[in-house]
A and B are shown apart, each in its own frame.
Chain A
């Protein structure tokens, strides 16, 4: 078989490494064969391609030193960075919060939209565990790191020397320019050269090609020039309406913290592409970011009508049902995921919890055992924490304590575990230990109201009204409408404001 044909065949069969190997051989024989060169570029790019619409992650630097955001103090319901009050759905007493102050979400996505850190100190205080870490550097720097990672996969040095490349020559040739751009953008992660190429190519086709506008927009976006990116995407949209452009434009608005504009864009997109799953998902995510869970769930259901195997939608709806007292329905959703072939610790953990609360006691422990065997180091802590809950549900406090201790040995910063351990110690009457645990939990996770409330209550019972007064205010900061905390505060204020 003609080796070039063989290489093409490898590429079509997604065997990128073999394809690249064959191409390298061919290039050694005839280094100026453009077709082989292009094919190798494409093969090598595909190996490292990651859907960058999904993979966007905002670093701390970008969040803090942000020139583009419009409102310092946004009106409620118009900002993704300041979680607004709930609009229906389970409140904090029923559904746990994450570090960002938002309720627990069904799916972990790379893009984390968290509260805006006010000062550099606060920004640096974000914990560095693998789950919740945010890169300190900006996004472009992270792409560079990904680029260096990909370069390690090559033996014999990089196959294209970008500095020596004559970009102008290739910009005019459409069929080489496009793969070359993708290679530079995704594989080398050299945004500067990529942008040069894109600029020249756009000029070469006299601004008529929407594809180059989109690529230019991507470059601007990665470099942090958001407004320019917006311009490019809008101009591309005028020429040709594609789902990708709508999505990228929506992302631009999300980056600018204008969720309502992003919603508009997505809804416009839906007019052109009715029922399009990615756009509907984006809308659902936006509503979740705005803390409007019921609407978010409505859109996820629309997604499921179109695509009944959409993992994110199933997971989010399942979680919502669990926290609104419908564990049986939640179980059905998670079982569906199992049937689809997803087989990891998180799913089994969720199945175990749903089985327990739906009173299917035979399945509960097997699910948890499976979860434990599949769990990575970080996930194990959460699994033990939930097993402790099962133990409490059965009334076996010793087992619960052991499980919580195992959880803490896996993750010594698990605030909820400290809080629950404190409660168990209280039941045994060890007040000082309980106090220590509550204090630890409260300092590790100031966004959780439970440890603050418990600490304040314990302090008040022990007579230390000063600590109680200070701490209960923290609890109310985390969860302002909590009745128990409000009552405690009123009681204390009588002492403190007494003249």
Chain B
């Protein structure tokens, strides 16, 4: 079989004409993607503290209930 490499690779024809909009038809609007705000160090610490305190209270409550 003759080698393909002898001939240069053929390029396709791609029309440069894209699709244009003639009119501005107002459409429904999607809500945009939301980047999430990062939490600051202080906020994380506060949340941790509150979580720990809540857990401690729960444990104490459970101990009281058991006894």
- Chain A contact residues: helix, strand, loop or mixed: helix
Q: Which residues of A contact B50 (CB under 8 A)?
A: 149
B43, A450: Cβ atoms closer than 8 Å: no
Within 8 A of A (CB), among B16-61: 26, 28-43, 45-46, 49-50, 53, 56-57, 60
Question: B42 contacts which chain A residues (CB < 8 A)?
Answer: 50-51, 54-55, 109-110
- Judge whether B30 and A423 touch: CB under 8 Å: yes
Evaluate whether A110 and B46 lie within 8 angstroms (CB atoms) in the complex, with A346-B39, A488-B26 already known: yes
Number of A-B contacts (CB under 8 A): 118
- Smallest beta-carbon distance A119→chain B, Å: 29
| Closest chain A residue to B37, Cβ basis | A108
On chain B, the residues within 8 Å of A344 by CB distance are 38-39
Contact mask for chain A residues 92-114; partner B; CB cutoff 8 A; 1 contact, 0 none: 01111000000011111110000
Complex interface: chain B residues within 8 A of A70 (CB)? none
Known interface pairs A50-B49, A149-B53; A311-B30 also in contact (CB < 8 Å):
no
Sorting the interface of chain B by its residue count into under 10, 10 to 19, 20 to 34 or 35 or more gives: 20 to 34
Q: Select from chain B the residue with minimum beta-carbon distance to A55.
A: B42
With A50-B45, A110-B46, A152-B56 as known contacts, state yes or no: A423 contacts B36, CB within 8 Å.
no
**Residues in B whose Cβ lies below 8 Å from that of A311:** 38, 40-41
Is the beta-carbon distance between A54 and B35 smaller than 8 angstroms? no
* Contact (Cβ within 8 A) A419 B31: yes
A153 touches B31 (CB 8 A): no
Residue of B nearest to A146 (CB): B49
Q: Identify the closest chain A residue to B31 (Cβ).
A: A416
| CB-defined contacts of B32 to chain A, threshold 8 Å | 94-96
Q: Are B38 and A104 interface neighbours, CB within 8 A?
A: no
B28 closest partner in A (C-beta) = A454
How many Å from the CB of B33 to the closest CB on chain A?
4
Number of A interface residues at 8 Å Cβ cutoff, please give it.
Answer: 61
Bound state CA distance, A347 and B35, in angstroms? 9
Interface status of A382 (Cβ within 8 A of chain B): yes
A484-B26, A487-B26 are known contacts. Are A107 and B40 too (CB-CB below 8 A)? yes
Query: Which A residues lie within 8 Å of B26 (CB)?
Result: 457, 484, 487-488
Please name all residues of chain B whose beta carbon is closer than 8 Å to the beta carbon of A448 when the two chains form the complex: 31
Chain B residues whose C-beta falls within 8 Å of the C-beta of A379 in the assembled complex: 36
* Alpha-carbon separation in the docked complex, A74 to B60 (Å): 50
CB–CB A426/B28 < 8 A: yes
Question: A350 and B30 in contact (CB under 8 A), knowing A50-B46, A149-B49, A149-B50?
Answer: no
**Contact assessment for B30 and A450 in the assembled complex, using a CB-CB cutoff below 8 Å:** yes
**Partner pick for B38 among A110, A315, A453, CB 8 A cutoff:** A315
| Pairs of residues from A and B, 4 with the lowest C-beta to C-beta distance, nearest first | A149-B53, A416-B31, A54-B42, A346-B36
List 28 A-B residue pairs with CB atoms under 8 Å apart, sorted by A's residue number.
A50-B42, A50-B46, A50-B49, A51-B42, A54-B42, A54-B43, A55-B42, A55-B43, A95-B32, A105-B37, A106-B38, A107-B38, A107-B39, A146-B49, A149-B49, A153-B56, A337-B38, A346-B38, A349-B36, A382-B34, A385-B34, A386-B33, A420-B30, A448-B31, A450-B31, A458-B28, A484-B26, A484-B29
Known: A108-B38, A346-B38. 9 other contacts (CB 8 A): A54-B43, A108-B43, A110-B40, A350-B35, A350-B36, A353-B33, A385-B34, A420-B31, A450-B30
